[in-house]
Structure 1
Amino acid sequence: MSPKNWKGSLLIGVSITVGVVGGYWLAQPRVIGTSGVAPEQGLKASAERKALYWYDPMYPQQKFDKPGKSPFMDMQLVPQYAGGAGDRATVSIDPSLTQNLGLRFATVTRGVLGSSLDVTGVLAFNERDVAVIQARTAGFVERVYAHAPGDVLNANAALADILVPEWAAAQEEFLALKRNGDADLLAAARQRLRLTGMPAVLIAQVERGGKVQPNLTLTSPIGGVLQELNVRAGMTVAAGETLARVNGLSSVWLAAAVPESEAGSITVGQAVEARLPAFPGTVLNGKVSAILPETNSDSRTLRVRVELPNPDGRLRPGLTAQVHLNRSTEQRVLWVPTEAVIRTGRRALVMLVEDAGRYRPVEVQLGLENDDKTAILKGLEEGQKVVTSGQFLLDSEASLKGIVASTGEKSSPSAAASSFHEADGQIVEINDKEVTLAHGPFKTLGMPGMTMTFPLANPALMQGLKTGDKVRIAVSQTDNGLRVELLDKSGNQP
């Protein structure tokens, strides 16, 4: 054989050998990784897993008890399998992507939360500092001094002169008895003058001067603003008629409008600082003197009254003020940055940071809010971490996965492993292996009410039960889904 033919035969032999070996290798089942699970075995394992429910990723709050097409979108429903509780209840993010997503975190801290509140207020008259001038007896107005409502008066400022004819006769009798020197009759005449409404000062003046004084000059007993002046020259006045009204200015009321959500933190005696645009740089100090019982139905605010001294009279009713309320007590509370809180309208959530890049929505109860900090009354513990930036992205992902926010209360691992999930329901069909139930929501699972078939943990659970019975259901989570551990008929019968 020539060398050329010998080389050709050798190449053909090698090709045949490689083909045989390659065909043998392709004929063997492939092994993935080191687990030795063939694709058919993986599909079979997936098929054996039981779904808790099916949902539409575009409308995850609605859950369905069987597969099919979504009534909301032109797509198939997605199954939610019963995996580990931590896997279903958290959103996982690769830790290397944290910075790319702009996530920032803060630690739940215990400390004193600044207790103050800034609101607006308006100055008003002190309604306790009011003088009402009335006629003590009938008479005629002879003179009215040059005053009008709104004028600021000094104490003892004259308002009007009134002629009282009744006083003239009584004073004549009094002076006659004084000349006679009968002490008992003089005392009786002096008492009669008092009963006619004559002021003690005028009686002393008549007794000292010996002349009849039938005219009365009305004066303002206090300094302040003349609110009413109901006398005119020549008019007749009756006994007990209100002739003038004066409101004092030695102190004024500051009426502050406090939102009803903050009303519970306001107490009488609380320190207040007020700043008026009319007097820049001036800080007025006072205390809460009263909390009015009625809330404004339009603005949903509560009126808080503060009494401010006004010795120089420059504070006038109607002026506006910025009011700073310092809360009377300060307590050490748990707080987080306000930006960490997600308000949905019905509840408040935070995204709790767990290990290995996992995040869990937690429902919290909020307290006071001040200085970009919010107190947490329930749901978190000191030292935990929450997301302060990017939490809305995580919350959206949690909603798409159908994750329900927990209350944040911790339980021991043993208690968590042995705990059951309970609901009320009615038996649709039952045998010694499984039961079909029309059940209400399993709140601890975030699972809505529906009709489903569950395996029984023990065939003895069906004893004494029949179709139509109302029962209390307790289920546990297994690798293959939910399993009924208890069917209590007695606890659900009328």
Structure 2
Amino acid sequence: MLFWRNPMNPAITSPVFTKDEMGMDYLPVYADDGGAADEPTGTVKIDPVTVQNIGVRTVKAKRQAFSRSVRALGRVIADETRITRLHPKTEGWIEKLFINKTGEPVKKDDILFSIYSPKLVSSQHEYLLALRNLKALGESEYPDIREGARQMAEISRERLQLLDVPEHQIRELEQSGKPFKALHVHSPFDGIVMKLNVSEGEYVTPRSELYRLADLSKVWVQVDVYEYELSRVRVGDKAQITLKSMPGRIFEGTVSYIYPYAEARTRTIKVRLELDNPELALKPDMFADVTLNTGLQKDAVVVPDAAIVRSGERDQVFIVREPGKFEPREVTLGQSSEGWVQVLDGVKAGEEVVASALFLIDSESKLREATAKMMEAAKGGQSVGGADMDMQGMAMDAPDMSMDEMRLDSSVPDAMDMSGFTLDGGRKP
């Protein structure tokens, strides 16, 4: 035996048995407490019964695809590339609205409304006149006359097309030879009427926005990401979207764009996700909970987050060397997500780490580490924290010394001055 150690503070020792202020016995420290020579300092040995009693649980480190999750709030919006604002190409009066409700679905080429416009009527007359001219002069013996008649007919027909006169009405005009009072305007694609700004009989001009149509088969989700998390987000990252209105259902999306500016009030940056929406379950202006899977590592070594002992200055885990023997090992950590932590250095895949009862094992490890340092100092006659720990030499020089003699003897180091102890081995208050 080398010396006695305070059970609560390993830095306090005594060359003789004593008790601390709480009446707890000092613990003896033996020369073989440091363990085998090849064992790292701080290795803990615990008998199987104690291991079971304190609830030690171990988990093997494993390799797997790993990514960090960034959680944020998002808002569903319509795909801006699938929105159409419909304006008439000429002034006139709305004769009839075939689609007259906001939110009504429309198919491509559905008739939206019919419009009476003097300009459209005159354009029809011009086309009919050009057709009659072509019929009369198309067989002329002069090539210039034939070509001029043909070009006039083509230009008149193209003017009708540019004024959004539908193809079926142009064909009917050619067959009947009579102009229409009101011409139809059709939907350019499948979509939803997001806004309706016109009524029957209303006078409209090219400045008037009559309809706002949106194709919601694909939508965007704009996500607000904080500045400190933005560095992890990349275009192409996958995301999961959930909504309060549909609990249990998860939508998959992809990061398509990161906006190049921040919001001044919230200090967040908007990230755009693109999602397929064939059932129209995602509706514009709905709020969504978004989980971005960022920084994908295809071959990462991970351990449970509960297996990490964080002291502030370093991170460490306890490796199972053999049943009942646990080795402290410093590790370098990477990202953490969903209760798992990536280990960049210090642990290999397949090694077993302690995942519970870490506080008890870590406390014992620190006590053993401190004890080992004191033992090294005692063997070399060095001072630890200013205290000469040459206990063996002190015991050999004065084997028959009483406590009073030892306290008065000048060979006893100041740090081990026994003036703090009573003659009966107790400690003075």
Alpha carbons of 1:224 and 1:90: their partners in 2 closer, same or farther (altered >3 Å)? same
Q: Could you tell me whether the CA contact under 8 Å between 1:290 and 1:305 is conserved in 2?
A: yes
Structure 2 counterpart SS, 1:239: coil
SS at match of 2:173: helix
Name the residue aligned to 1:187.
151
Counterpart residue identity of residue 147, structure 1? N
2:332 aligned partner, one-letter code: V
The 1:366–1:205 alpha-carbon spacing in structure 2 relative to 1, beyond 3 Å, is same
Q: Secondary structure at the match of 2:102?
A: coil
- Number of the residue aligned with 1:112: 64
- Structure 2 unaligned segments of length 5 or more: list them: 12-33, 139-147, 371-384, 386-429
* Equivalent residues of 2:123, 2:159 under 8 A apart: no
Match of 2:276 among 303, 308, 321: 308
For residues 155-304 of structure 1, what are the structure 2 equivalents within 5 Å? 155-180=108-133, 181-183=136-138, 184-185=148-149, 187-192=151-156, 194-195=158-159, 197-199=162-164, 201=167, 202-239=169-206, 241-253=208-220, 264=232, 268=236, 288=254, 290-293=256-259, 303=271
Q: Which has the higher contact order (CA 8 A, sep 6+)?
A: 2
Q: How far apart in 2 are the matches of 1:282 and 1:385?
A: 36
Distance in 2 between the 1:269 and 1:245 partners?
32
Quick one: distance in 1 between partners of 2:120 and 2:247?
Answer: 55
Q: Which amino acid aligns with 1:245?
A: R
1:131 lines up with 2:73 in the alignment: no
Q: CA deviation at 1:227?
A: 1.1
Question: Matches of 1:313 and 1:195 in 2, distance apart?
Answer: 38
Structure 2 equivalent of residue 8 of structure 1: none
Equivalents in 2 of 1:163, 1:139: separation in Å? 5
**Structure 1 residues 346, 309: closer, same or farther in 2, change over 3 A?**
farther
Q: Which residue of 2 aligns with 1:387?
A: 354
Distance 2:181 2:106 in 1: 26
Structure 2 CA distance for partners of 1:139 and 1:321, relative to 1, 3 Å: same
Q: Aligned equivalents of 1:203 and 1:391: distance in 2?
A: 83
Output the CA distance in 1 between the equivalents of 2:363 and 2:154.
91
Correspondence for 1:99? 51
Given the superposition, is the C-alpha separation of residues 235 and 334 from structure 1 closer, same or farther in structure 2, using an over 3 Å criterion? Answer: same
What SS does the corresponding residue of 1:268 show, helix, strand or coil? coil
Q: Does 1:143 align with 2:96?
A: yes
Residues 145, 316 of structure 1: alpha-carbon distance in 2 compared, 3 angstrom cutoff: same
Aligned length: 327
Aligned to 1:492: none
Deviations 1:14-64 (A, max 9, x none): xxxxxxxxxxxxxxxxxxx8xxxxxxxx99xxxxxxxxxxxxx99x9xxxx
Q: Distance in 2 between matches of 1:220 and 1:251?
A: 18
Structure 2 CA distance for aligned equivalents of residues 360 and 283 of structure 1: 41
Overall identity of the aligned pairs, in % = 21
Counterparts in 2 of 1:311-326, with a 5 A limit?
313=280, 316-317=283-284
Amino acid aligned to 2:129: A
Judged with a 3 Å threshold, the aligned counterparts in structure 2 of structure 1 residues 267 and 399 are, in CA distance, closer, same or farther, namely farther
Aligned AA (1:233):
E
* Further displaced range: 316-325 or 164-173: 316-325
| CA–CA distance in structure 1, aligned partners of residues 295 and 171 of structure 2 | 54
- Which AA in structure 1 matches 2:51? Q
Distance verdict in 2 for CA 1:257–1:162, change over 3 Å: same
- Counterpart in 2 of 1:366? 334
- Flag the 1:293–1:397 CA change in 2: closer, same or farther, 3 A: farther
Shift of 1:326: 8.2
Alignment RMSD: 5.2
Tell me how far apart the structure 2 counterparts of residues 332 and 105 of structure 1 sit (CA, whole Å).
25
Q: Which residue of 2 aligns with 1:27?
A: none
- Relative to the length of structure 1, the TM-score reads 0.50
Distance across 2 between alignment mates of 1:128 and 1:346: 51
Indicate the larger mover: 198-207 or 117-126: 117-126
| AA in 2 matched with 1:208 | Q
| Contact map agreement 1:131 1:222 (CA 8 A) in 2 | no
- Give structure 1 stretches of 5+ with no counterpart: 1-32, 34-41, 44-56, 61-83, 404-446, 448-494
Please list the CA deviations of residues 158-205 of structure 1 after superposition, one character each: whole Å capped at 9, or x if unmatched.
Answer: 332221111222322332343342343353254145336334623333
1:132–1:360 distance in 2 versus 1, CA, 3 Å:
same
8 Å contact from structure 1 (residues 123, 321) kept in 2:
yes
Q: Distance in 2 between matches of 1:269 and 1:352?
A: 34
- In the TM superposition, residue 246 of structure 1 has moved relative to its aligned partner by 0.9
Cα drift, residue 237 of structure 1: 2.3
C-alpha distance in 2 between matches for 1:307 and 1:139: 40
CA gap of 1:236–1:189, structure 2 versus 1, over 3 A, is farther
Deviation at 1:210, TM superposition (A): 0.5
SS at match of 2:94: strand
